[in-house]
Amino acid sequence: MVRKFFPLIALFVVIVLVSLSFQGKRASTDDVMIALYNSAGIGMVERTMEVELREGINEIPLEGIGGIDLAKMSLRPLDDGVSVLGLSGGERSMGNDVEVGLKSGEKISGKYLGIRDGKLAVEGDGYYMINLGEVAYIKTKHAGGSRIYAVLRAEKAGKYRVSVSYRVSGIRWEGRYRLYLNETAELRGYVVIRNPTWVEFSGANVLLVAGDVNLGQRAPTPVSYEKADGVAVSSPEKVEAFYLYRLGIVVVKAGSTMVYPYVTLEAPFEREYLYESWAYSREGPVYESISFKTDRVLPAGTVEVYRKTNEGVLLIGETGIDHTPKDGVVRIGIGRDYDVRGTTTVLEKSNDGEHYRIRITLQNFRNETKRIIVRHHKWGKVTYSSVQPVDETADYVEFMVTLRPGEKEEITFEYEC
């Protein structure tokens, strides 16, 4: 049922509502912290805001965070004397002109006054309280995005601090590297922040989180590029299962990609060759790689590989590296080596797929000695091996083999899943 009050009564009701029920000035932001994840396209934002409240219930617009999923937001008071009653949002900003179409066919036009006691309040030629179940549509002349309101109760009038946390989908960071090969390996690493969204963070304290957060989201392609200077990325801190890099106070611009230098190192390197196999029979390629030690933690990322020549630098490939701890070994693939051949043969496999016996054969057709890493991807634990593994995880086992010119070698091993 739609309840209509005539203008004089409506004016009195509006005055009472405005002065006693839902009032409050706009929230002013004191500081913003945003945590960006390199494994998921989200930013977790925490804003500390100071609000001026009247005694009683206040409805405060939260500026600059429209279009956020309310189910993924949280609001908590930081001072005594204020409590959070809830969050509300919608396209109809307070005071905007709206047209409400009812299922009965009637149309009501006027100023949108919010939700009162579970009903839509509109002031037009009268004051209307409309049951939401009777609404067929709502049109607004407001051109902006949706707004979100915090509903707060203050024990007495004053200024209070509150913290609002929410997600911004689409924003992420990644590691990006350039590797220059000559007598030594020169690695230059960068932190790349991609923000394809309309949301901009000015003077935000940015934290970069390296770790596997599986949220099933991908970042869209950025629409512009901007080089950022004068910001030093800190060495990471281990927090739970993650590494945390502190970028500091920066501006994360809307619709942009920003690049921050992170690491420059130069180190001697060794050439290696990598053969990868899985739990099925196949003949596969062997790839040339280089390895060197790093004195910095390196986040996972993409590596562009360049060869220095007398004429300049030549791009010879692009690959990726996993997260590498300090004093760890970085292995970077260069390309396929056609003079070394690898073959995987499944000698035995139990009916339930719990037991495997594998033979890997390697042969060097080139007239030089080569050191080959054999990485077999598997589940479970190795129970027998003719060659001692150099590394084993739950996902793979690695062996190291040195082949002289024309030499052939076999590795036989078993594992239980």
**What secondary structure letter does DSSP report for 95?**
T
Strand order in the sheet with 381-385: 381-385, 408-416, 355-364, 329-349, 282-293, 270-277, 370-377, 396-403, 391-392
Q: Please determine, for residue 13, whether its predicted confidence score (pLDDT) is greater than 70.
A: no
Q: Residue 81: which of 52, 59, 106 has the closest Cα?
A: 52
Element containing residue 16 per DSSP (H, E)? helix 7-16
Can you tell me the distance from the alpha carbon of 208 to that of 246, in angstroms, rounded to the nearest whole number? 6
* Least-confidence region, from 63-77, 119-133, 180-194: 63-77
- Cα distance between residue 210 and residue 320, in whole Å: 15
Can you give the C-alpha Rg of the chain in angstroms? Answer: 31
Indicate whether 127 pLDDT > 90: no
Per mean pLDDT, which range of 35-44, 144-153, 218-227, 248-257 is the poorest? 218-227
CATH number for the domain formed by residue range(s) 270-293+325-416 = 2.60.40
Torsions phi, psi of 269, nearest 5? -130, 160
Pair 2, 106: CB distance under 8 Å? yes
Strand ranges (E), 211-352:
226-227, 237-239, 242-252, 256-267, 270-277, 282-293, 301-309, 312-321, 329-349
CATH topology of 2-33+46-168 equal to that of 270-293+325-416? no
**DSSP character at residue 197:** S
Nearest to 109 by CA among 130, 134, 133: 130
Q: Is this structure's pTM higher than 0.85?
A: no
Task: Quote the DSSP letter at residue 21.
Answer: I
First CA to last CA distance, the chain = 66
Q: How many CB atoms neighbour CB 216 within 10 A?
A: 6
What span, in angstroms and rounded, lies between the C-alpha atoms of 346 and 214? 33
Q: Could you give the angle at the alpha carbon of 99 between the alpha carbons of 97 and 102, nearest 5°?
A: 150
CB 215 within 8 A of CB 156: no
2-33+46-168: CATH, from 3.90.950.10, 2.30.30.100, 3.40.50.620, 3.40.50.720: 2.30.30.100
**Owner of token pair 């701890």:** 325
Q: Between the CA of residue 336 and those of 188, 234, 272, 288, what are the distances in Å?
A: 24, 36, 12, 6
What letter would DSSP give residue 106? Answer: -
Dist. CA 27–CA 254, nearest whole Å: 21
Which residue ranges make up each domain of the chain?
2-33+46-168, 270-293+325-416
Nearest one of 226, 215, 172 to 195, comparing CA atoms: 172
pLDDT digits (tens, 9 = 90+) for 181-237: 999 999 999 999 988 877 788 888 888 888 766 554 433 333 233 334 445 565 666
What's the pLDDT score for residue 217? 41
Give the tens place of pLDDT for each residue, 367-379: 889 989 999 999 9
